Amino acid sequence: MSEDLLAEITESVIGGEPETVIALTRQALEMGLEPMEIINQGLVPGMDIAGEKFSRGEFFLPHLLIAAKGMQNAMELLEPELVARKQTFKSVGTVVIGTVQGDIHEIGKSLVGTMLSANGFKVHDLGVDVRIENFVSKIEETRADIVGLSALLTTTMIGQREVIEALVEAGLRDRVKVLVGGAPVSQSWAEEIGADGYAEDATGAIQVAQKLMGAKS
């Protein structure tokens, strides 16, 4: 019975049915399923499959966004239960993410943050139009493993370079990996500014983040 319910949660995430995901997650809790079981055997597999479909061109961005919304809403329901049971979602690594100063594009950055969370990362999303000093202070505060810098305009790309320079000045650059992305960003730009990784989409960002964590260990 519990396996059927977890499979339904997975299918609802893939199918882009956020309200059903919430209802089934609540039902699973009422049946006595552990929050970690719901996450690892219901939600995460659904997000993984949605990501794979996006990579293969079977899903488009709206499909992935609505799948991520279901996952995100269910996690909000489960987090108080995890705290109450003194359980923790084992973190793969800590990521600070944001859209650089002067740029207010939200969707791509938020999707990357949600998918990183779904794949076991602890994510601190600073939002959009983030000042350089806010990136630096948050990285210092959280002892982040990775910082994700998003830029959707050619005029704001320079902000990615400026954050890296600020990290060098603060003595933090050796401690944190820098992942950059956004429509005008490229692998050559990432190399030019000294970033550690570049991804052109959310699923690519997960793969690069996992590789960067492997390099740190």
CATH for 117? 3.40.50.280
User: What is residue 115's predicted lDDT score, i.e. its pLDDT?
Assistant: 80
Is residue 80 domain-shared with residue 105, that is, in the same domain?
A: no
CA distance 73 to 197: 29
Is residue 194 domain-shared with residue 128, that is, in the same domain?
A: yes
Is residue 190 domain-shared with residue 102, that is, in the same domain?
A: yes
pTM, full prediction:
0.74
Using the structure block, give the residue that is written with the tokens 């790309």. 157
User: What is residue 89's predicted lDDT score, i.e. its pLDDT?
Assistant: 63
* Single-letter code of the amino acid located at 182: G
Is residue 74 domain-shared with residue 99, that is, in the same domain?
A: no
**pLDDT band per the 50, 70, 90 thresholds, residue 100:** very high
CA distance 209 to 92: 10
Q: Can you name the residues that pair with 197 across neighbouring β-strands?
A: 179
Q: Residue 93 pLDDT more than 70?
A: yes
- The whole-number average pLDDT for the span 163-171 is 98
Among 19-23, 78-82, 139-143, 156-160, where is mean pLDDT lowest? 78-82
Is residue 113 domain-shared with residue 42, that is, in the same domain?
A: no
- The count of structural domains within the chain is 2
Q: Identify which of 10, 2, 8 has the alpha carbon closest to the alpha carbon of residue 31.
A: 2
% of the chain exceeding 70 in pLDDT: 97
Q: Which domain holds residue 102?
A: 93-216
Structure tokens at 180: 């950059």
User: What is residue 90's predicted lDDT score, i.e. its pLDDT?
Assistant: 67
The per-residue pLDDT of the chain, averaged, comes to 91
Alpha carbon of residue 2 to chain centroid: 28
CATH of the domain at 50: 1.10.1240.10
Q: Residue 111 pLDDT more than 90?
A: no
% of the chain exceeding 90 in pLDDT: 64
Q: Residue 132 pLDDT more than 80?
A: yes
User: What is residue 21's predicted lDDT score, i.e. its pLDDT?
Assistant: 96
Is the pLDDT higher at 9 or at 79? 9
Is residue 141 domain-shared with residue 171, that is, in the same domain?
A: yes
**pLDDT band per the 50, 70, 90 thresholds, residue 212:** very high
Q: Which segments of 3-114 are extended strands (E)?
A: 93-99
Is residue 123 domain-shared with residue 182, that is, in the same domain?
A: yes
- The whole-number average pLDDT for the span 87-108 is 87
Q: Residue 1 pLDDT more than 80?
A: no
User: What is residue 73's predicted lDDT score, i.e. its pLDDT?
Assistant: 87
Is residue 70 domain-shared with residue 111, that is, in the same domain?
A: no
CA distance 86 to 207: 30
